[in-house]
Structure 1
Amino acid sequence: MKSYHKELWFDIQERRAFINITPKVEKCLAESDIKEGLCLVNAMHITASVFINDNESGLHHDYEVWLEKLAPHAPTNQYRHNGYEDNADAHLKRQVMGREAVIAVTAGKLHFGPWEQIFYGEFDGRRKKRVLVKIIGE
């Protein structure tokens, strides 16, 4: 069995963003030369997320509105976690959106359903963060 890993780095200047990282993960898969296996895409920071869904701007807007209703950023004093930083809401948003995605690799391609894409969700940007891509298989 072969194994491949790479870290993708992101420096999102906004507090929150959804970035389609599918092309970057597909590039990793091509570099790995793995044709059959599994691809793990994992946010390595506790205020960021990796998830799979449709690449549709209306949906991304709906996520933003929904997440802000679930865990509003302000007022920041509503959270016990806030003190040194004001990112308690980002931790909660990450928990809802998830830490990682696992995608089957079939015939050298990411084996998606219709419309599926991989996204990096940033909930407390303005500093460099990374995503781990780990691919195993033959």
Structure 2
Amino acid sequence: MSPLWFQTEVTLRPRPRGFHLITREVQEALPELSRLEVGVLHVFVQHTSAALTLNENASPDVRRDFARYFDRAVPDGAAYFEHTLEGPDDMPAHIKAALLGSSLTLPVRAGRLALGTWQGIYLCELRERGGPRQLVLTAQGQGR
């Protein structure tokens, strides 16, 4: 049996700065995942001021703690930033995105993401008003 490949782009609605669970939106955007017995899903965010990560999906405290940590570690408007034309949150957003990453590769088993019980996909919105965010979803694997 030859491998199957699926790819789509999805535009996520604008969100405020923070860490937002998007697992359901990702799964709904690529219903073809159900056709894979075994494979991988690659999720890529097409922005330099937003990121993706995989973490705790139950407690909103975790998302708030992430935001507090990163906002302290890389503060807006620090005097040492030169790249300031797009606002005091732009350069910090680029640094946070570099630290967090722009993509995730996730296992697919029996037509579903094989995530742990408490794992969820986060969109890390790192600007105050980042606007809509585009994701490229690419799945590959063996069919069911």
Q: TM-score, normalised by structure 2?
A: 0.84
The aligned length equals 136
- Identity across matched positions, percent: 22
* Residue number in structure 1 paired with 2:43: 41
Aligned match of 2:76 in 73, 78, 84?
Answer: 73
* Residue number in structure 1 paired with 2:10: 8
Aligned to 2:116, the other structure's residue is in SS state: coil
4+ residue runs over 3 A deviation: none
* Residue number in structure 1 paired with 2:133: 129
Aligned match of 2:115 in 112, 115, 119?
Answer: 112
Unaligned runs of 5+ in 2: none
Contact 1:11 1:126 survives alignment (8 Å): no
CA gap 1:64/1:120 in 2 versus in 1, 3 angstroms: same
**Aligned mates of 1:30, 1:7 — CA distance in 2:** 13
* Residue number in structure 1 paired with 2:32: 31
Unaligned runs of 5+ in 1: none
Greater share of strand:
2
Q: CA deviation at 1:94?
A: 0.9
Q: TM-score, normalised by structure 1?
A: 0.88
Q: Indicate the RMSD between aligned Cα atoms, in angstroms.
A: 1.7
